Every structure is written in structure tokens, then in C-alpha cells.
Structure 1
């Protein structure tokens, strides 16, 4: 049977996909970087296995299509031949998109200083996810920088282009926040999204808010707003629980915008109105770590953005929402999710280590000693430095220099520890054989 031109054309296109697929190299061969800037080895292995599996499956699909085209598909209608090819090409583009997603994470590791900082942020993110012991089977977390003021996360086990589940969590942090206490606020907020998803906190909190919603008609709208904003609020709580006032200071910097945006109605946005979000962060901090600093911070925020300049109806709206903030903050702190085994959120984080007085005491004890700082939990270090910043005990210049140094130290220690573990494992395997 004479072969149709359509089949010949589609065969060439399919073979072209194979050629381009074979040009995709493993990420380990893609970029050069110093050892301290490399991805955590477990994360790197997860990503490489994921991408390799995707390429392998696609290669088999292309070969199967070519075999079909040369056999039973030879007499198929041209539109059927085209339909099958288009599905494969869509999968090919999805594989490329997945590769590009992780390439963006890896490429910056070759940048001078930035790569090592990112490796240090990987360590900070891992510590932020491990801060509560109730998460089982924690995924690896990797970071990269992007322009813009906001951070974002692609959570582990959520869908990538093509529908495959991401093997790791990928956090995009704003380049303009490197390096200061604010970078931890943004990063740990995003880690909070991952932690909340693993513990099912958004769903259980929404149910709790719905059950506790006041019956008085004038209070109902405020609690409906809290219910809508729960996913972002729990991430803010996670950040405050890990970082103390450093989290609120970082949030304040992010949402310090022109007045229109600070007071703009949230509508369907899961983020609370910025004006209320800062006040709620202060209320959460006061609930977790009682101290006058939270009232001072809330008062300062109100002075920066006075409600009195708004139209009367908007003033009334914010007054109703503000009045409910303390009750909502208490509900958050006392929430007991099934995943927390009956414990409240308040008792699920190491709050005793992060009380303001203790943080300042640690700041004076450590005295910017890099050897001491590098051995501490990263979230605790950022909490200490942020508390010192709030107390005006450290300048922005000294803060940036100190945090840059400690990020490098964490990156180097993590890299050396990983390679030492690999070397020890290989020696043991050699002796066993």
C-alpha cells in the first residue's frame, strides 16, 4: 500500500521530537556552580528522577506512535494520525515546561553570591517546615529569586504543567528583599502554605470559623471575611510562630503601598486587605508572645495609614472588622486540628524559645559570633536578628552583613555534611562488598 504524504510528514515530525528530547540534559550537567550553592542532594535526586521518568515515558510514547504509524496506523485516516501526534506533542511541551520550571531554580545557583545565599535559604526553608513535629513525610524545599515584591510557592505534590505532581516544593522569593530579615518573613510565609496543606489546617480552620461565627447580624460579615482569608492567615501565623516580630516587620514592608491599595476591598482575593493583615499579624503575635511591642507596632501602622481619612462608610466597615481581630486571633491560637493530635496551634510551635525577652537575651549572648549563629536553628537566628532590629539594636547595614554571612555558613555546612555522608556511605558499601 502506498504511504500517504500525511504519514510521512508526521513521522518526520515525531522523529524531530525525539531529536529535541535527546538534547535535554540532566540538570546536574546543565549549570556550573560552587559546591556550597548546589541544591540539597535529596531534592536534586527527586527532581532528576522526576524529569528522567517524564522523558523516558515520552520517548516510549513517540516510539510507540512511530511503530503504529508504520503498522496499523498506515491505513488510518489522516486526521486520526494527526490527532495522535498532537497529543504526543502536547506531552512534549509539558515535559519542556517542567524542565524549565526546575532549570529556573538551578540556573541562579551559578550567580556569584546569589547561588550560595539560595542554598542557605534552602536550609532556612527546611527548618521552617520542620519547626512543628507533627508533619509526617516532609517534602524537600528549594528556592529561587524573582522580580517583584511578593513571594509564591508551588507546593510539593501539586500539579505541574502536564498534570504530574511536583516532587519538591519550589518557593519563589523576591530579589529585592535579599538580604535582610524580610526575606525570612516572605519565605516562611510560603513554607506555612506547605505546612498548612500537609496538616489540613485550611479545611479544619474554615470549619472552626464557621462553627464559631457569631450570630449577631452586625458581626457576621467580619467572620465571613476571616473564613475567606483563612489560607493566607494560617501562613501568616506560621511565619509569626517561627520568626516573632521579624515576620510582622517583613509583612509591613511588603504591604507598605499607596493608600488606595492598602485599603482596597479584598473581594475574592484570599489575601486580607493589607491594612487589616498587618493588624491581624500584630494580634497573632500578641496572642502567641504577649508583649507591649505588638500594640506599639499596631499603633504605628495606624499612624502610617489613618482610617480617619476614609469615607464614613469605609471607616465603619474597618471598625467592625478591627473589633473582631482579637477574637479571631484567639480562635487561631486555640485551634485544634485532627492532624495536631488534639494539640492547639499555640502548643504546636516552640514559642518559649521565641519570646521577645529571650530573643534579645540571645542576641546579646551571641554577639554576632558567626560560629555560634551557624549552629543555631535558622528560623531562631532570623527571629533573634529581627527582634534586635525591632529594638533598634542593629543597623540595616550590620543586619544584612550578618545574615549574608550566616546564609553562606549554612550553605557550606549543609554541602559539606551531605558530601561527608555520601563519602561515608560509599566507604561502608565498599567494605561490605
Structure 2
């Protein structure tokens, strides 16, 4: 190639790199406005404790992306006069492309989460869920001096809730999630016992609960090594279920069954799935109730599960796992309740969240003593919000003929509408 052609080719490549850079920099610059991703009203509905660190983190990601673009521009400019730097300039542009995608993924996730607050009533409901979620974690983390992460809840489709835990690495290199971002599914938006399952995951990660529970289950099932291996593998989801139970009692069990009680999936056991088999998971919840309070409405649920899905219909080796586990469920439930959690000073969860607080009799006392104010008082909402969720869920489960009324009452309460008792 002649010198003239080489110079021309060099100029074409560098010009194109500069063009690419201009595109990605312009796209990155649009990220600077958080309202590109969520409406102003949606952002206003987010608690300051979550919104401020979240916007700060997102701003830092954008600043770093723009800084990276500036470095790439400098290399491109140097490459104009030094052909040996063209390869480095091309690599800088490629890295900028990848970084843009990672930042975009992070911003879109949180923007979609915030923007799910599509109306004032829904914004009020999610704001209440933010506060309830944070309160559930504060009840166990604050007494032992652990920082309580702020919460951002959002609504989405599907059957089950999920969490992107505070403190984990995000898609963008170097970015750490500043909030517990919890998806609440629409069918359980106003019966959100699963919210406390998800905050249970956050608490478990911060306190060493899962390894402790894994050891407790292995020890309790030492007489059945295969079952010990199975149950210890489910420890992370069981700990979260126990946390939800500790906060909302039987309501969490009946709501759980509505999620897992799919005839196509209740015996499903995918390889590596951390969730217990739905049939066992529901019945373990029943045993938690029995262990705490003896007989109750959960017995009818247990009978319905066994009648609707006879264990023999599971077939093969799965039947043996179900039968062997069912015979040991009372022991497993006690092990779950008595596990000493390292981050809680070696105390079991019940020492900080006594099951008696959410027993049917205790919730009935709350309902009677508060009267109509239970559904309208701002101070009761603040002080007893989690138990109000537990009460509404309990009544909906106990009184199916009035379930629609209880669901409507809970919906109005979450929207901030005063309702009659």
C-alpha cells in the first residue's frame, strides 16, 4: 500500500472511531437526567432513604461512563497523529460500548422499578410497602447494631416475588446496590406476606442465617443422610419462609400455597432449585403454625393439600423423599425455629420476633382493642402495619366467604383510604 493510501486508510478508521465515540457519548449524556427513566411523580413517591442513595449511585455510574468516554476521546485524538495508537483507540471505543450496555441495564432496571408507580394510589401502596419492608428488617437488625438497608419496592407480573439485595454487585463494574429492590407481584400486592420472605433473604445474607440453618437441618436429619442433604440445600428459601412466618403468621402460609399450589408444579423438583418442593414447603409452614400455637385453621389447609395431592401420585423416588420428609416435618419445624443465628448474637429468630405476636388470638386482640381506628389511624399504620397485614391475610384465609371484602379493605388501606372496621 502506498504512503498516500495508508494515510487515507488511517484517517478513515480514526474518523469512524470518533464518530462512534460521539454516538455513545451522546447516548450516555442522556442518562444524566433520572427522569429519562422514570417520571417525576414516580421518583417523588420513593422514600428519601431509598431514592437519594439510589439517584446518587446512578449519577456516579453516568459520571464514570462520561469520564471513560473522555479518556477514549483522548486516545483517538492521539491516534490521529500516531497510527500505532489506532488499535488502542479502537479498544477504548469497544470498552465504552460494553460499559454503556452495563450502565444502561442498571439504569433501566431501577427506572422500570421506580416507574411502576404509575398512579397516586399505586404509589401510596408501594410507599407503604417500602416502609413495611424496612420495618421488618429493622426489627431484627437494629437490636444487634446492623445497618438497615433502605427498600425500593416495585410491582410486576408473575407468581412469585423476588429481591435484588442491597450490597451486591450490579451489572456495572464497581457499582454496589444501595437498596433492597423487591418485586411484589400484582396478585399479592395487597396481601404482601411475600414481601417479608424477600426481606428475610436480605436479613439472612447479613446475619449468617443460611449456613447456620443448613447445619441445623443436617444435624436434625442425621438419621436420614439423603434427606439431610436435600433439606440443607433448601436452607436459603426456608430461612426466608421462616422470616415471613415470624412477621405474618398463618397468613404467610396460606398465601404461599396460593403461589405453589399449581397441579403442574406442586411436586416439581428441578435440579439445583433452592426452593423446597411445593407440597413439602406448604406442609412445613403448617408445622411452623402447629409448633407455635397447636391446632388451628392451618390443619384444614394441610388436609386439603394431602387430599388434593396424594403423595403416592408423585411416583418413584420422589414419593420416598416426600414420605420420609413428611414424617419428620415436626422435627424440621422445630430446628427452623431454634436455629441460632450468628449475626443475631447466636439467638433464634423467635427471640426477636416471638410467634405469639402474630398468633390468631393476638391478632384478634389487636383487632378488638384498636376497633375501627385500625384501618384509619396513621399511628397504628406506622406502629402495627405488619401485624395489620397479618390480620387481613388471616381473615381472608379463615373466612373465604368474605375474602373479597377483606381484600378490598386491605387494598383501600394500602392506598391510604380510611375504611370502616
Structure 1 residue runs of 5 or longer lacking an equivalent are 412-433
- Choose which of 264, 271, 282 in structure 1 pairs with 2:268: 264
Once residues 317 and 277 of structure 1 are traced to their aligned partners in structure 2, the CA distance between those partners, rounded to angstroms, is 13
Matched, 1:61 2:68: yes
Deviations 1:343-374 (A, max 9, x none): 12221214332122111222233344323342
1:351 counterpart residue number: 355
Once residues 201 and 212 of structure 1 are traced to their aligned partners in structure 2, the CA distance between those partners, rounded to angstroms, is 16
2:3 counterpart residue number: none
Once residues 333 and 145 of structure 2 are traced to their aligned partners in structure 1, the CA distance between those partners, rounded to angstroms, is 23
Deviation (angstroms), 1:200: 1.5
Q: Secondary structure at the match of 1:377?
A: helix
Q: Say whether the 8 Å CA contact 1:26–1:48 is kept in structure 2.
A: no
Once residues 271 and 280 of structure 1 are traced to their aligned partners in structure 2, the CA distance between those partners, rounded to angstroms, is 12
Q: Secondary structure at the match of 2:144?
A: coil
2:176 counterpart residue number: 165
Out of 375-384 and 219-228, give the one that drifted further: 375-384
Larger relative contact order (Cα-Cα within 8 Å, sequence gap ≥ 6): 1
Deviation (angstroms), 1:38: 0.6
Once residues 106 and 228 of structure 1 are traced to their aligned partners in structure 2, the CA distance between those partners, rounded to angstroms, is 34
2:300 counterpart residue number: 296
Q: Secondary structure at the match of 1:171?
A: strand
Structure 2 residue runs of 5 or longer lacking an equivalent are 1-5
Deviations 1:159-202 (A, max 9, x none): 221232111111111112233x2xx2221111111111111211
Matched, 1:127 2:132: no
Aligned pair in 2 of structure 1 residues 220, 311: CA closer, same or farther (>3 Å)?
same
Deviation (angstroms), 1:251: 0.2
2:189 counterpart residue number: 178
- Choose which of 244, 265, 269 in structure 2 pairs with 1:239: 244
Q: How does 1:217-366 map to 2 (within 5 A)?
A: 219-258=224-263, 260-311=264-315, 314-366=318-370
Once residues 274 and 171 of structure 1 are traced to their aligned partners in structure 2, the CA distance between those partners, rounded to angstroms, is 22
Aligned length: 403
Once residues 394 and 22 of structure 1 are traced to their aligned partners in structure 2, the CA distance between those partners, rounded to angstroms, is 56
Deviations 1:394-432 (A, max 9, x none): 822222222122223399xxxxxxxxxxxxxxxxxxxxx
Matched, 1:13 2:17: no
TM-score (norm 2): 0.88
Deviation (angstroms), 1:298: 1.7
2:218 counterpart residue number: 210
Aligned pair in 2 of structure 1 residues 200, 138: CA closer, same or farther (>3 Å)?
same
- Choose which of 39, 44, 58 in structure 1 pairs with 2:46: 39
Once residues 118 and 291 of structure 2 are traced to their aligned partners in structure 1, the CA distance between those partners, rounded to angstroms, is 43
TM-score (norm 1): 0.86
Out of 16-25 and 153-162, give the one that drifted further: 16-25
Q: Secondary structure at the match of 1:160?
A: coil
Matched, 1:108 2:112: no
Matched, 1:139 2:149: yes
1:379 counterpart residue number: 386
Aligned pair in 2 of structure 1 residues 347, 238: CA closer, same or farther (>3 Å)?
same
The two structures, once aligned, show a CA RMSD in angstroms of: 2.5
Once residues 319 and 342 of structure 2 are traced to their aligned partners in structure 1, the CA distance between those partners, rounded to angstroms, is 38
Deviation (angstroms), 1:93: 1.2
Deviations 1:229-274 (A, max 9, x none): 001000000000000001001101101102x411123431101110
